[in-house]
Amino acid sequence: MSCFAPILIHCAEWLSVELPWKQVEVSRRSSRSYSTYTGAECNADWLNDFLTELWPRISAHVTAMLKDSVEPKIQEALPSVLGQSFRFSEVTLGDKPLQLDSIRESANNYQSRTGTVRDVFLKLDVVYEGDAHVQISAAGAKLGIHHLTLTGDLQVCFKELMDRPPFFTGISIFFANTPKIDMKWTGAAKVLAIGKLKHTIQRIISQQLDHICVLPRRIAIEMDHTEDRLFRLKAPWPIGILRLHLIGARDLQAMDWSLFGQNTSDPYATMRLGGITFTSKVINKNLNPRWNETHTFLVFDRHQKLDIELYDSDMNADDFLGQVELKVDHVLQKCRAGPEWFTLKSQPDASAVVKELNGAVWLDATLMDVHLSQDRARAIATTPKTEHNEHIPRSLVFVGLYSIKLPPVAVGTQYLVEATCHGFTQQVQKTASVPQEDAAMEIKRSELVDKIEKLRSLKVSDADIAEVLSIPVAALAEKDPSAQQYSNVLRLEEPFFFFADIPEDTVVKIQVSSVKPKAEIGSVDVPIDQLLNVANCTVRHTVKSGDIKVEYLAQVRVIEEPFQDCESP
């Protein structure tokens, strides 16, 4: 969905048009120091006309994304034989463009370190029900998607209004919840594990959306460069941390038939909030399972939806057992006095058999606040945990990677960057490119060969020539090294959040590897204890280790630890 970025940048220029906003309603949230103004709907026809003009280009971009990003991930996720044969043989989004049903406007005032700040939001109802056609080949058979729908609420935040042009510091674009995707399939009757194939395709596409523009991920465009605002646009701090205790379920439907005993299921749960998903362990042969698992989510809006789905684990395709989809605010209200049972519901297009679901899932939920406090962050190390809060992380660590300097490579070389903290790894794949600010300093291609020859005539070694000209040593053996551009900077601009306990014992490891061939280039450690020596627990730093140099911004905040004594109902 990165295709929305150019659309919405252009839309920003249209905002001078007087829109038919209705009278706004004012409300205030007591838990934070800000006001919220919520506007009513306005007509989106003017923006839909604009989307129609852009649709051929959007279609081309999505086609390339499916081939370049989604196809390799699906191949990796499938069993080897099926994965090796998987291909998107044809992709087109057709002539019917994505549509916006309505636009709603709202604004937030909140207190920052620099005083009162105001953000303006546009909320857009996105609907795609077009004539897309996707043809897939796998294991010698053909599988088609003849009808694809996508619905979601896209938000555009005009960040930090100013009294001078461009009048806001930047634009942040995101979905609060993963858009709903539905696919109608044709063919592929001969493909074994077809259920798993369909499920994998839909899951990977949703994950790609999550990684690009579903909270906490955002597309960000920096408009004012008078100070560093990149990660204030891409990764603002959450309003709170949701601690979700998945206790168990009851009266689940039996999906596994047994010849000698009772029919049963092997249930597990997936829990999603925004773009973050956790999967529970599988409880074998149990219609009343007890998981007793605790998971922690970042909350950016109390109206974000918590989606919990239960499945019966199966060799081929996992059977759906029911779901619960509730706003965070509703879950918190229900669990105010302790754990609650939530009735499972079927999917909207479920069969009559599945619609007879009558089970329930047992949950407890608490929203914890996040504070920026040097004294409290330092004190965490001396405050022992108790049995009541042993599952609650006590700090939230942020590391934003600006760029990584590495040995020169050909532009287009792909890298995998992994950030790991306390055994939890997040990763992003990036392609080496020439930074815009360095473009004017590049050596003209026509001059490169001449410079190489002159340096060689002076008996300069290939290693020194490569260093002087910022090109790989291997390029000197090529017949025409000027035919390729080179870069020694990997531009990332990627945010990472980690839950940690004691900041003094926390290190975030950044590891860089080439994709083809797969090989580690280098790694650096970001020690979080260095943040405790700074008043605002924030450090911007550049660290070098071996062949790489990493520029990053790091911050640590303290998580409140409220606890409600919960007795089993």
- Please write the tens of the pLDDT for every residue from 490-521: 999 999 999 998 888 899 999 999 988 889 99
Most confident of 91-105, 427-441, 446-460, 530-544: 530-544
Q: Where are the beta strands (DSSP E) in 78-201?
A: 87-92, 99-112, 115-129, 133-138, 141-161, 168-175, 180-187
Instruction: Out of 321, 350, 368, pick the residue that ends a domain.
Output: 368
Which residues partner with 181 through β-bridges? 150
Structural domain harbouring 433: 395-442+485-559
Could you tell me the pLDDT band of residue 411, with boundaries at 50, 70 and 90?
A: confident
Q: Is residue 455 part of a domain?
A: no
* 228 shares its domain with 244: no
* 199 shares its domain with 51: yes
Q: What is the pLDDT of residue 140?
A: 77
Q: What is the pLDDT of residue 396?
A: 95
Looking up tokens 């168990």, which residue turns up?
Answer: 248
Q: Where are the beta strands (DSSP E) in 316-461?
A: 319-327, 340-343, 360-368, 370-371, 395-410, 414-421, 424-431
Q: Is residue 380 part of a domain?
A: no
Q: Is residue 496 part of a domain?
A: yes
Q: What is the pLDDT of residue 349?
A: 55
DSSP state of 530: G
Q: Is residue 282 part of a domain?
A: yes
* 270 shares its domain with 188: no
CATH number, position 425: 2.60.40.150
Q: Tell which wins on pLDDT, 285 or 195.
A: 285
* 178 shares its domain with 228: yes
Q: How many residues does the chain have?
A: 569
State how many domains the chain has.
Answer: 3
Instruction: Out of 206, 234, 262, pick the residue that ends a domain.
Output: 234
Instruction: Convert the pLDDT of each residue in 233-266 to its tens digit.
Output: 999 889 999 999 999 999 999 887 766 668 889 9
Instruction: Convert the pLDDT of each residue in 443-489 to its tens digit.
Output: 555 677 778 888 888 888 888 888 777 777 777 777 666 657 778 88
Residue 333 has pLDDT above 80, yes or no: yes
* 153 shares its domain with 182: yes
Instruction: Out of 368, 386, 416, pick the residue that ends a domain.
Output: 368
Residue 15 has pLDDT above 50, yes or no: no
Q: Is residue 466 part of a domain?
A: no
Nearest-angstrom CA–CA distance, 361 and 505: 36
Q: Is residue 533 part of a domain?
A: yes
Of 34-38, 413-417, 426-430, 512-516, the one with minimum mean pLDDT is 34-38
* 188 shares its domain with 44: yes
Looking up tokens 């529970």, which residue turns up?
Answer: 280
**Residue 280: which of 267, 268, 265, 294 has the closest Cα?**
268
Q: Judging by beta carbons within 10 Å of its beta carbon (0-12, 13-18, 19+), is residue 246 exposed, middle or buried?
A: buried
Q: Is residue 454 part of a domain?
A: no
pLDDT averaged over the chain?
82
Instruction: Convert the pLDDT of each residue in 46-61 to its tens digit.
Output: 788 888 898 888 888 8
Residue 532 has pLDDT above 80, yes or no: yes
Residue 318: what residue type?
Answer: D
Q: What is the average per-residue pLDDT within 393-410?
A: 92
Q: What is the average per-residue pLDDT within 181-200?
A: 72
- Prediction pTM value: 0.80
* 187 shares its domain with 314: no
Q: Tell which wins on pLDDT, 455 or 214.
A: 214
* 220 shares its domain with 339: no
Q: What is the average per-residue pLDDT within 422-441?
A: 75
Q: What is the pLDDT of residue 193?
A: 59
Q: Is 189 helix (H, G, I), strand (E, B) or coil?
A: coil
* 211 shares its domain with 272: no
Residue 19 has pLDDT above 60, yes or no: no
* 176 shares its domain with 127: yes
Q: What is the pLDDT of residue 357?
A: 62
Q: Where are the beta strands (DSSP E) in 224-368?
A: 240-250, 267-273, 276-279, 290-299, 305-312, 319-327, 340-343, 360-368
Q: What is the pLDDT of residue 456?
A: 82
* 20 shares its domain with 157: yes
Q: Tell which wins on pLDDT, 342 or 393.
A: 342
Contacts of 465 (CB under 8 A, 6+ apart): 452, 455, 456, 476
Q: Judging by beta carbons within 10 Å of its beta carbon (0-12, 13-18, 19+), is residue 204 exposed, middle or buried?
A: buried
Q: Is residue 97 part of a domain?
A: yes
* 126 shares its domain with 208: yes
Relative orientation angle of helices 45-65 and 4-14, to the nearest 10 degrees: 160
Could you tell me the pLDDT band of residue 142, with boundaries at 50, 70 and 90?
A: confident
Relative orientation angle of helices 462-469 and 445-457, to the nearest 10 degrees: 150
Q: What is the pLDDT of residue 26?
A: 32
Question: How far, CA to CA in Å, does 18 sit from each of 15, 41, 51, 252?
Answer: 7, 14, 20, 54
Q: Tell which wins on pLDDT, 299 or 81.
A: 299
